[in-house]
Structure 1
Amino acid sequence: MNEQYTGDSKAIVTNQQGIHEKLEEIVEKHLTHPFQKPYQAHTKDAFDEINAIVQAFDGPIILDSCCGVGQSTRLLAKRNPDALVIGVDKSAHRINRNVEHTYDGDNFYLIRADLNDFYRLVKAANWPISKHYILYPNPWPKSKHIQRRWHGSAVFPVLITLGEEIILRSNWLLYLEEFQEAADIAGLVGEITEVNDAEPITPFEAKYQASGQQCWQLLVKAASY
């Protein structure tokens, strides 16, 4: 995309000091009590449609969670021409926005779905996911909202089984440190590094760069499935 971003993104403000005191308790609870919420119909229908395409594809699958307008999905598809890239976002408005495309190949799809349901359906279908990207998720910086963060959610035990590698990026280092700690509780290893890409992969990343904010990446080697 050629859209220009101004340096007006505000830094994360939180009332939380360090990793959340209840993180271990929350993660342990979710690891021992499987998430069994009924599937939403629109997500089940969307999954059934894309699952037929995935099952017929002979090659690696890349999952791009919370893909927004799909810029990251298109860039990942361009960088990985032998892979099938699936971008998923809960917002039909974002998925259908008329953004300037950087890539119009035929190896990516944008899907509107609730990831809390979609993840469980993907797990059951045993998709061969090589890389799973979660780029700049909503940080939910207030301490009381810990369970709205992915590592505090009930679907976390399923999420961490999806992909040989899970790649998160954020401009809030504490978010990644918490996810890393949650992954460690689940028996997985993660490494945090600085993001120094010349080409931003999402509109958020471009805005953070323009604001002079440091972005970070967490790479987790996921569990086998």
Structure 2
Amino acid sequence: MQPPPFEIPHPDADAVRQMEKAWSRADLTRYLVRWQNSVLPDLPPAFFDYPTRALDLGCGLGRYILRESARNPDTAYLGIDKGSFRGGSMQERIEKAGRLNLFGLHTNVIPMLPKFPAASLDQITIFYPNPWWPPKHRQKRWSYHPILPLLAKLIKPNGTLVIASNEAFYLGEFRYALAHHPHLGSMMETYAGPIDITEPEAGRTHFEVKFLETGVPCGELRFKKRHHNQN
């Protein structure tokens, strides 16, 4: 199934101004204080036993990591989702699958990310995040968030960051952030356009399956982390 075309717009002047203001005020340590008294799960030690590791943020029911872990038994896949239904169901599906390279955490993504060692991930995927449409909520979007620079720090050189959405404005803002954020110069764009579906079993997430079936256009951005000596 060939996905419809998808144009990713440049964010408007107000969005650019608000993003850059958010970056200048970002204080991740102060932001994370809200979770200092929360009980958070530990990262699964066995995840780090694998030489290649992939993290799916907001993994929903786990469709993507369930499929990819079966295809790539030498890669460890970890999904994190805080949803009361999705996160719990994801963990049940993972336990039922019984794969040693498949892991899931039912918790909030944000306070978990600082637990990962630097340059410990080969891939981070963010599929169909909450768009937080109202302007008063845009500080919760990835492109405005103080956690954003940490994503690049967690990815190994030549590792990839992938984000997909049915909201063109969201991808436009994310694309701008990865190109202009003062602490994200290590990330190089490798693809921007419609979701790249080339396999018979289309749809990496349940949202993507629904969008494909109903003809909703979806877009995708991919970035690679440069080595220090790469231009």
Range with greater deviation from structure 2 (68-77 or 34-43): 34-43
CA contact (8 A) 1:75 1:103 kept: no
The count of corresponding residues between Structure 1 and Structure 2 is: 201
Change (3 A) 1:112 1:83: same
Amino acid at match of 1:28: S
2:81 corresponds to: 89
* Aligned mates of 1:214, 1:110 — CA distance in 2: 29
Of 213, 218, 221, which aligns to 1:215?
A: 218
* Aligned mates of 1:179, 1:35 — CA distance in 2: 22
* Aligned mates of 2:132, 2:100 — CA distance in 1: 34
2:151 corresponds to: 159
Gaps of 5+ in 1: 1-15
* Aligned mates of 1:100, 1:54 — CA distance in 2: 17
Cα RMSD (Å): 2.6
1:8 corresponds to: none
* Aligned mates of 1:54, 1:120 — CA distance in 2: 16
Do structure 1's residue 194 and structure 2's residue 194 form an aligned pair? yes
Amino acid at match of 1:206: V
* Aligned mates of 1:91, 1:127 — CA distance in 2: 27
Of 172, 177, 181, which aligns to 1:182?
A: 177
Of 11, 15, 19, which aligns to 1:20?
A: 15
2:111 corresponds to: 117
Q: Deviations over 1:98-146 (max 9, x none)?
A: 8878965331111012211111111xx3362111001110111222221
* Aligned mates of 2:14, 2:104 — CA distance in 1: 33
2:7 corresponds to: none
* Aligned mates of 1:220, 1:139 — CA distance in 2: 20
Gaps of 5+ in 2: 1-10
1:12 corresponds to: none
SS in 2 for 1:220: strand
Q: Percent identity?
A: 23
2:118 corresponds to: 126
TM-score, normalised with respect to structure 2: 0.76
Write out the 4+ residue segments of structure 1 that deviate beyond 4 Å after TM superposition.
16-19, 98-104
Q: Deviations over 1:78-110 (max 9, x none)?
A: 232210000001124312228878965331111
Range with greater deviation from structure 2 (202-211 or 156-165): 156-165
TM-score, normalised with respect to structure 1: 0.78
Do structure 1's residue 74 and structure 2's residue 66 form an aligned pair? yes
